[in-house]
A and B are shown apart, each in its own frame.
Chain A
Amino acid sequence: MSNAANTVTTSHQVECPECGASVRFARAPLAGEVTRCTGCRAELEVTSLSPLRVELAPEVQEDWGE
């Protein structure tokens, strides 16, 4: 699989750009929302709502946190 963003397959469901598994959102996602693929554990970020699209979330930076 490439790092390319993938588009919607069904409502609130999208293909993981890393492993191709189906990623389902329990409710309508928000732009910027992060989730984890249950197939490969990759962290994904919603980059588009219409069409629904996710990309690999940015790597953790040094100053990230609480």
Chain B
Amino acid sequence: MRIALLHSRIRIEERLLIDALTSRNIDHDVIDLREQTFDIHEPGRWTDYDAAIDRCISQTHALAATRVIERFGVPTINPASVIEACGDKLTTSLLLARDGVPTPRVRVALDEAAALAAIEHIGYPCVLKPTTGSWGRLLARINDRDAAEAIIEHKSTLGSVAHSVFYVQEYVDKPQRDLRVFVVGTQAICGISRQSDHWITNTARGGRAGALTITRDIADISARAARSVAGESGGLLAIDLLECPRRGLLVSEINHTMEFRNSIEPTGVDIPGRMIDWVIERARAGAEAAAGVSA
């Protein structure tokens, strides 16, 4: 078996994944996508791989590369469809809504006046998010109409074209924390709570990680969310949950290139090891399926 680990920078997470491959005696290549060119007519060495793990930090680049590599017949983890589903918050919300997975209410608008109308419809406070991006960047809690008008104008004037899609989400009055659940396949293997005095609780923004007990409700909603974006087999996903005082657990976001460096110690779970074990399992299943087809 041979595995490709695709990256655009080696962070602690990628190091730990490489260590997990090495400790399992899995042949692997660490491939910097920035250095690659793909001949879309000629797979070349890519067919040597039984699977490719995407760890590219740019969602745009990850999506392009996995599309090409999948076209060559190499399974990618996560697949391009999952990157597409998770990398765009609107797509994530649409899939969750389609499948009846509890999630905050969302309205979308494509024009400044319509954005204001969407915000007023959701009510104050509400949250305006870019549809792409991560780490809690450029989130805005809007408390009143004055703030709404100002932020809409700023996004229209200063933002890239991506900011012309106004994604308005209800504000969930959560108890100073949100929950992050690590899912392998469709199984919630562990989770953390992210505590913060600020309404943005991402650890990238100073949220403090604490241990989380995976209850049946957490496991259930996480599995449903994983199936919604990744199908029956699921994927390697970090699912962010909000505890709504009225409606219970809500799926806020789903991350397809999960960061876990701060979560191994509080959970006591070998997250990279569990990820790699699943990749090996998927690669073997893919190889057996291919052998069955050719036999």
Write the residues of chain A forming the contact surface with B, with a CB cutoff of 8 angstroms.
30-34, 45-46, 57, 60-66
Contact = CB atoms under 8 A, between A and B. Distances in A.
6 contacts: A30-B18, A46-B10, A62-B133, A62-B160, A63-B132, A64-B58
Contacts of A66: 134-135, 238, 255-259
Interface in B160-219: 160, 162
Nearest to A61: B58
| Those 5 A-B pairs whose CB atoms lie nearest each other, nearest first | A65-B134, A66-B255, A33-B10, A63-B59, A32-B10
Interface-centre pick from A46, A61, A64, A66 (highest chain B CB count, 10 A): A66
Contacts of B134: 64-66
B10 A63 contact: no
A30 B15 contact: yes
Interface of B: 7-11, 15, 18, 30, 32, 57-60, 87, 130, 132-135, 137, 160, 162, 238, 255-259
Contacts of A65: 57, 59, 133-135, 137, 255, 257
By secondary structure, the A interface counts as loop
Nearest to A64: B57
A35 B18 CA distance: 17
Contact of A63 (B18, B133, B256, B259): B133
B9 A45 contact: yes
A32 B238 CA distance: 24
A34 B133 contact: no
Given A46-B10, A65-B135, 7 more contacts: A30-B30, A31-B32, A32-B32, A33-B15, A64-B135, A65-B137, A65-B257
Nearest to B159: A62
Contacts of A32: 7-10, 30, 32
Of the candidates A45, A57, A62, A65, the one having the most CB atoms from chain B within 10 angstroms of its own CB is A65
Contacts of A61: 58
Contacts of A62: 130, 132-133, 160, 162
Contacts of A57: 9
Nearest to A65: B134
Contacts of B255: 65-66
Contacts of B257: 65-66
Contacts of B259: 66
Contacts of B132: 62-63
A30 B59 contact: no
B86 to A, nearest CB: 9
A31 to B, nearest CB: 7
A66 B252 CA distance: 14
A46 B162 CA distance: 31
B10 A34 contact: yes
A58 B238 CA distance: 25
A64 B132 CA distance: 9
A34 B58 contact: no
Nearest to B162: A62
